[in-house]
Amino acid sequence: MPCVPWPLLGSSVTLLLTFTSSVRTSRSQPTTGPCVESFAQHLDSFIPKRMQELHVPGAGLALIDHGEVIWTKGYGVEDKTTGKPVTPETVFQAASISKSVTAWGVMRLVQEGKLSLDAPVERYLTRWHLPSLRIPTMWMVDSSAM
């Protein structure tokens, strides 16, 4: 696994902590290697501080390389009342966050000028096509859908 620059992952880890992800795996020890060990040490320093700043009682994290879980760890507690610690096997009730995460990613691309909300979807998704129906963004923003 190539080493990943820590600043690049800062916003990703923050996003994960904001939405509290779920991790379930049978493997809880890191794959040996200096890069994974170094990054795990960084997480052990960074995650508890960020959790405290965001008032997150518990989080489960996993590092995945080419579809394989190579490291997992639980931080904090899953229940503040009992003090039961988070483990890699802890399952969180995360609700339906994929839409929020996708919307955040799309708007980030819009902000960077890499995506236009008014462009046809076929400009970005080339393997399938929608019928030709163009609705200006302002119509969607300015209507109540009634």
Q: Which tokens hold the place of 56?
A: 């997150």
Q: How many CA atoms lie within 13 A of 95 on its CB side?
A: 7
Q: Which of 26, 45, 96, 132 is catalytic?
A: 96
Please give the distance of CA 119 from its chain centroid, rounded to a whole number.
26
Q: Which tokens hold the place of 38?
A: 């170094």
Q: Establish whether 96 is a catalytic residue.
A: yes
CA nearest 59: which of 20, 11, 98? 20
* Active site (catalytic) residues: 96
